Amino acid sequence: MSKSDSTEAPSASGTTHFGFKTVAETAKASMVRGVFDSVAPKYDLMNDLMSAGVHRLWKAAMVDTVAPRPGQTFLDVAGGTGDIAGRIHERLTRGGAALTAPITVCDINAAMLGVGRDRMLDRGIVTGIDWVCGDAETLPFPDMSFDTYTIAFGLRNVTHVDRALAEARRVLKPGGRFFCLEFSRVVMPVLDKLYDTYSFQVLPFLGQTIAGDRDAYVYLAESIRRFPEQQRLVAMMGEAGFARATYKNFTGGIAALHSGWRL
């Protein structure tokens, strides 16, 4: 696959990619919603199995980099199960501190939001997180509303990455920061071949066996390959108006954390 094939810019023909399939742009959001409706009940279990728990380390490193501070406002997009919001909440409330503003989770998928609310209730978190059903490409928030925008393993699922980046910048306050944790391009020799074999043979098997949906995890593997590689995403962030865009690879580039500033 060439670098140009991996981007998801708007198409003059009105089509886009759903994994390796070409579909109508207007159909992709509902197709992605269908995937996550199907896997929502087993989503967190599958994340643990797929990554042998390493996704937890990546997310912890992300929140370490975010370094949440009292008084800041946070938006976690595509964060339906509450993984990132819950970690931020825990950081801000250590020692019994009170939140100065709720953390906002925005996800296009109501089923995932339901899983997230239930998880937080199970952990005794009954206040401090707002759950909003909304699209990353048309966020239902005013301009300059948040100090921090996070998105973990969600950006590759949007129809137009450039529009989602523009929306992220729009809702950030001047001086606000964008963070994206996403599967990316493996940069270590040998690991890339092993990862391809794992992605296209083992993941669909786990999806069928554990979540009862093989196709959802075929889509997962394909969507990772279609997503812009590290340097291309840095360039797209710059095109969206983010300053000082940079990234850090995790586990040889299986995942990467990108960040940038709205100045």
Query: Which residue, among 221, 185, 227, 215, has the nearest Cα to 200 in the 3D structure?
Result: 221
CA dist 153 and 35 (Å) reads 14
Query: Pick the residue with more confidence: 68 or 26?
Result: 68
Residue with tokens 């100045």: 263
Q: Report the pLDDT averaged over residues 5-11.
A: 46
Q: Which of 20, 52, 83 is nearest to 195 (CA)?
A: 52
Segment 158-168 shows an average pLDDT of 97
Residue 113 lies in a domain: yes
- Whether residue 2 lies inside any domain: the answer is no
pLDDT of 22-60, one tens digit each? 888 888 888 887 877 777 777 777 788 778 889 999 999
The pLDDT assigned to 33 comes to: 78
Asked whether residue 35 is domain-assigned, the answer is yes
Residue 2 has pLDDT above 90, yes or no: no
User: What is the chain's Cα-based Rg?
Assistant: 17
Is 96 inside a domain boundary?
A: yes
pLDDT score for 13: 63
Tell me the pLDDT tens digit for each residue of 176-193.
999 999 999 999 989 989
Amino acid, res. 106: C
Q: CA neighbours within 13 Å on the CB side: how many for 152?
A: 23
Domain presence at residue 182: yes
CATH code for the domain of 209: 3.40.50.150
The mean pLDDT of the chain is 90
The number of domains in the chain is: 1
Mapping DSSP onto H, E and C, the string for 204-249 reads: HHHHHHHHCCHHHHHHHHHHHHHCCCHHHHHHHHHHCCCEEEEEEE
Residue 6 belongs to a domain: no
Around Cβ 3, how many Cβ atoms within 10 Å?
11
Instruction: Indicate the DSSP class of residue 82.
Output: -
pTM: 0.87
Q: b or e along 5-25 (b: 16 or more beta carbons within 10 Å of the residue's beta carbon)?
A: ebbbeeeeeebbbbbeeeeeb
The dihedral formed by the CA atoms of 151, 157, 160 and 164, expressed in degrees to the nearest 10: -10
Which structural domain range is residue 96 located in?
A: 12-261
- 161 in any annotated domain: yes
* Confidence class for position 12, pLDDT limits 50, 70, 90: low
